[in-house]
Amino acid sequence: MGDPAAECVHRLDLKGNATMWPINDQPWGLSVNADHNLIVTCRRVRTIKEFSSRGDLLRDVTLPDDIINPWHAIQLTSGQFIVCHGAAGDPIHRVCKVSSDGDHIIHSHGGQPGSDIGQYDVPAHLAVDDNQFVFTVDRDNRRVTLLSPTLDYVRQVVSRDQFTWEPRRLCYDVQRRRLYVVEIEFKDDEFKTGRVVVFCV
């Protein structure tokens, strides 16, 4: 569990034992790679940090300069990263495939913020299936978009009218072909309530 306020990660094992380790930056997105290492996206400094499951820092990957406010990153089996970025007021909101060293962008989808098919308004979280198709939570447009492995638009998986509040996080169950999406009511600058919505895809 990422804790941006305390700049740390909390780990809970199957026996209920809790540990924590410092990130020394705000962790906004967490994922686990094929080596069972933790991938931590640090939005403020545009960095991906890889940790062992025991909290040892293995490496830092600095993202390209035009990836501003990255929310979440997933490392593919190829070593490349899928990254979503763009906060309110930023000129670019995209999903990108980035080289394993973080040096350059290989593919991207999105651009100026908006609500058209090729646009996002705060792409906040990702999930990737076994064939490297990418599910993206488009937070302020209140939808989930499916992209191909080369980040071409495939279809809208969940539309605005299927959500009650803002979608924030998602997880894809490959075996059951179910998409779990967390939606949260954010009102008067406060988080009011939330729930998990399940979709068959």
pLDDT at 76: 97
Give the pTM: 0.93
The number of domains in the chain is 1
Q: Does 102 fall in a domain? A: yes
Q: Does 120 fall in a domain? A: yes
At 149, is the secondary structure helix, strand, or coil? coil
Q: Does 197 fall in a domain? A: no
Q: Is the pLDDT of residue 112 over 90?
A: yes
Please say whether the beta carbons of 185 and 193 come within 8 A.
yes
Confidence of residue 171 (pLDDT cuts 50, 70, 90): very high
Average pLDDT, the chain: 95
Confidence of residue 191 (pLDDT cuts 50, 70, 90): confident
Query: What would the mean pLDDT of 75-103 be, rounded to a whole number?
Result: 97
Please say whether the beta carbons of 97 and 151 come within 8 A.
yes
Q: Does 135 fall in a domain? A: yes
Q: Domain range for residue 16?
A: 2-163
Please say whether the beta carbons of 81 and 74 come within 8 A.
yes
Q: What would the pLDDT profile of 49-80 be if each residue is shown by its tens digit?
A: 999 988 999 999 999 999 999 999 999 999 99
Q: Is the pLDDT of residue 46 over 90?
A: yes
Q: Does 191 fall in a domain? A: no
pLDDT at 186: 83
- Give me the phi and psi of 5, to 5 degrees please: -65, -40
Q: Does 77 fall in a domain? A: yes
Residue 12 sits in a domain of what CATH number?
A: 2.120.10.30
pLDDT at 107: 97
The Cα–Cα gap between 45 and 68 comes to 9
Q: Is the pLDDT of residue 187 over 90?
A: no
Please choose, from the candidates 17, 73, 15, 81, the residue with its C-alpha nearest in 3D space to the C-alpha of residue 43.
Answer: 73
